[in-house]
Chain A
Amino acid sequence: MKIHIMPLWNGSNCQQNRLLICFALTAVFFCGSVSAEMRIWEDKSGISVQAEFVRELFGSVELKKPDGSRYSIPLENLSTQDMKYLRSRMPPEIELDVRTQKRGKVRNKEFVQESDVINVVTATVEIRQKSSAAYSGTLRAEVYLIGKEVATDDYRLSGKGTSQVQLTEANKRTFTFETSADFRVYEEYNKLETRGAEYDGYLVVVFDSLGNKLATKTDLSWLEEGEIDALRKFNIDSFFGENCRKRSVPRPRYSGARQEF
């Protein structure tokens, strides 16, 4: 697993000079992301062998027989069925590009107080295939938009989106989708505190068709890689700390001052 420190980010008008941390689970295309599975392989001449996939290297597939011996077949000699199997099981090498945009929500001003502001943050995720070999499987991409409560030190999962990703010739092996979430900050009715969440950052995770994590990208400096799975389990509007442990919902404060209005 490799962690890239990305250059300073200028992608959003609200988040300037934020350090991007990219956990690139860049899967080495041939290093056994395909789960080892004993099966019958066959070449075009009809010769078959029981073996498990080891790797694809320099245009050949290396297989391991049950007795431990290695066997190599040039890709062009593989049967059509085996080629299909390889292309649907072997995850592609991908690149993730995430852009966020924040805009104020247009509301009916006649009924909204000035202190009540909703920003809509839209994350545009672009997934590009880097490797040249065709991949016929379907990837799954998940996007999480996280806010930070203004009245407490809680984080809040404000938006969650998912998309099935197919990288084909038709889309030039590039897939783009968007996820949005509202971030509202307002004066609470108890007139004692300003509450709500400001946008803090995003997390994008991409999985291959077998459910293996293929790539991860975030701009949340406090998010550790080992906590990503915990974050993914939260429902929208869940609250949590920097360690991604769930916290109880922050409540409005009570005060006797309420008696006055």
Chain B
Amino acid sequence: MKRLIHKTKGIIKGAPTAVLVSAGIHIAIIMVAGGLVVFTAIKKSDKKFVPPPPVDRPKMDLKKPRVKTKKASKPRATQRISSKSVASMPDIQLPDVSTAGSGMGGGVGGYELVPDTAGMSMFGGTKSMAVGNDFEGTFYSLRYDRRGKKTSIDDPQYKGIIRRFVDLDWNPYVFSPYYRGPQKLYTTQIFIPVVFSEFGPSYFGIPSGPDFDPYLWCVHYKGKIMRKEGGKYRFWGFGDDVLLVRVNGKVVLNASYGLFRSELCEWKRHEEDYKYFMGTAEAAVGDWFELEPGVPVEMEVLIGEIPGGEFCAYLVVEDADEDYPVNQQGMPILPVFKTAEIPETVKDKIKYTLIPGEADLDSDLMFNVY
């Protein structure tokens, strides 16, 4: 018993050490566990504030300006360039056009901040002046093939080719065997009073001179028109020798020279045709056409010269809801067809050869898409 009691006592005697060991172990476990908990908590909080991978951001930043730049700097007209088959035609190397009287030539020091319209001709300028409202003009000479050699085309054949162009949905592929001018021009009005036929090709980058025959040529203009408020309109005009206009796929004016007007395109004569002089001969009147409010539609114009000499392409437009003053002949003075204000320098060039009263250059009527 005693022994037992002793043993028990002994055991009791050693209890504090075991407790201490046990407590130590527990404290150690708690500390390790606590440390782990704290460490984990810190680790978690670190994860929470990790910034999102920066890879996507530059993409977002780059995309916007790209879209804007494209919109602002590239004229829509350029995107509507005629047909691929024509684009593949080889450009013919020609000598530089004379710089005579071509503005502040030599390109000095960039002190001219306003767009230079001085170099613009009545056929258009080499750069867009009204983005999105331009008509792009492509020059073809049927007198020469695509390599610049003279063809055997004569007047009747020229008319036949124009007829084929019209019949084939105004496809410029018809002109692909012939010489295409090296320079496209951009214009916001189609109105060329009487000029000598050699000047037409020269504006498209072909030097005038004894080596180029300034006849059997044509220019195909293509663009879009729109009226915010819509309306009913018809063209009047006169082309010496070719002036054809189609809107939304339909020919609405054949104002080509009277003698062969019907050879170029089916055309029903209007009552007002041949009543008034415009330029060198009588004006033609077109079919009425309607524009839906705010809906842009395609418009194409073909002008051309057959025998050489005097050339003109007068295109004016009548609004069915408007009354117009009349000129000396009793012809209404109609607004020049345009999609933007005519630059003053171009207006002056037009005025120099335009008999007063044959057209209104200052009207508010514009067919701008933008």
A164 and B354 form a contact (CB under 8 A): no
Instruction: List which A63-86 residues lie within 8 A (CB) of chain B.
Output: none
Q: Could you name 23 residue pairs across A and B whose Cβ atoms are closer than 8 Å?
A: A107-B208, A108-B198, A108-B211, A110-B308, A111-B213, A111-B308, A111-B309, A159-B100, A160-B103, A160-B104, A161-B105, A161-B106, A164-B109, A177-B106, A188-B353, A237-B352, A248-B351, A249-B348, A250-B352, A251-B354, A251-B355, A251-B356, A254-B355
Which residues in B have their C-beta under 8 angstroms from that of A164?
Answer: 106, 108-109
Contact A120 B197 (CB under 8 A): no
A252 and B279 CA atoms in complex are apart in Å by: 11
Please tell me the number of chain B residues within 8 Å of chain A, measured between CB atoms.
42
Q: Smallest distance from the beta carbon of A113 to chain B beta carbons, Å?
A: 8
> Are A182 and B101 in touch, CB under 8 angstroms?
yes
B198–A107 touching, CB < 8 Å? yes
- Of A107, A116, A182, A254, the residue contacting B209 (CB under 8 A) is A107
Alpha-carbon gap, A261 to B240, bound state (A): 14
**Does B310 sit at the interface, judged by CB under 8 A?**
yes
- Is A162 in contact with B356, judged by CB distance below 8 angstroms? no
Cβ-based interface call for A179 (8 A): yes
Residues of A within 8 A of B328 (CB): 254, 256
Instruction: Determine the distance from Cα of A140 to Cα of B215 in the docked complex, in whole angstroms.
Output: 42
Q: Report Cα–Cα, A160/B105, bound state, in Å.
A: 8
Q: Is B118 at the interface (CB under 8 A from chain A)? A: yes
Chain B, residue nearest A113 (CB)? B309
A181 and B108 form a contact (CB under 8 A) = no
Q: Known contacts being A120-B100, A160-B101, A164-B108, is A237 close to B345, with CB within 8 Å?
A: yes
CB of A250 to closest CB in B, whole Å: 7
Q: How far is the CA of A107 from the CA of B355 in the complex (A)?
A: 27
- Complex CA gap A203/B104 in Å reads 14
Residue ranges of B at the interface with A (Cβ–Cβ < 8 Å): 98-106, 108-109, 118, 194, 196-198, 208-215, 277, 279-280, 308-310, 328, 344-345, 348-349, 351-357
A189 touching B279, Cβ below 8 Å: yes
Residues of A whose CB lies within 8 Å of any CB of B are 106-112, 116, 120, 140, 145, 158-164, 177, 179-182, 186, 188-190, 235-238, 248-254, 256, 258-259, 261
Q: B103 and A236: CB pair below 8 A? A: yes
- Residues of A near B102 (CB, < 8 A) are 236
Question: Min CB distance, A233 to chain B, in Å?
Answer: 12
Contact A180 B213 (CB under 8 A): no
Q: Give complex CA distance A252, B212 in Å.
A: 29
With beta carbons under 8 angstroms apart, the residue of B98, B279, B345, B354 that contacts A235 is B345
- Given A106-B209, A111-B215, A164-B109, residue A237 in contact with residue B100 (CB < 8 A): no
* Interchain CA distance A120-B100 in the complex, whole Å: 8
Contacts of B356 in A (CB 8 A): 251, 254
Q: Which chain A residues lie closer than 8 Å to B118 at the CB level? A: 160, 235-236
Q: Are B213 and A140 in contact (CB under 8 A)?
A: no
A106-B209, A235-B344 given; 18 more Cβ-contact pairs under 8 Å: A107-B208, A111-B215, A145-B101, A163-B106, A163-B108, A180-B98, A181-B100, A181-B101, A182-B100, A235-B348, A236-B103, A237-B349, A252-B352, A254-B328, A254-B355, A254-B357, A256-B328, A258-B277
Q: Report Cα–Cα, A200/B87, bound state, in Å.
A: 45
Q: Is the CB of B348 within 8 A of A111?
A: no
Contact status A108-B208, CB under 8 Å: yes
Q: What is the CB-to-nearest-CB distance from A175 to chain B, in angstroms, rounded to a whole number?
A: 12
Choose one: A106, A163, A186, A238; the contact of B348 (CB below 8 Å): A238
On chain B, the residues within 8 Å of A238 by CB distance are 348
Residues of A within 8 A of B101 (CB): 145, 158-160, 180-182, 236
Q: How far is the CB of B157 from chain A (nearest CB, A)?
A: 19
- CB of B308 within 8 A of CB of A253, answer no
Inter-chain contacts of A181 with B (CB < 8 A) = 100-101
Question: Does the CB pair B348–A237 fall under 8 Å?
Answer: yes
Q: Is A161's CB under 8 angstroms from B208's CB? A: no
State A160–B351 Cα separation when bound (angstroms). Answer: 21
Among B109, B196, B309, B357, find the residue whose CB has the most chain A CB atoms closer than 10 A. Answer: B196
A110, A140, A158, A250: which contacts B108 (Cβ < 8 A)? Answer: A140
Q: Which of A109, A110, A116 has the most CB of B within 10 A?
A: A110
Q: Contacts of A259 on B, CB cut-off 8 Å? A: 277
Task: With a 10 A CB-CB cut-off, give which of A108, A116, A164, A249 has the most chain B CB atoms.
Answer: A108
A258 to chain B minimum Cβ distance, whole angstroms, is: 5
Rounded to whole Å, the gap between the CB of A180 and the closest CB of chain B is 4
Q: Which residues of B contact A252 (CB under 8 A)?
A: 352-355
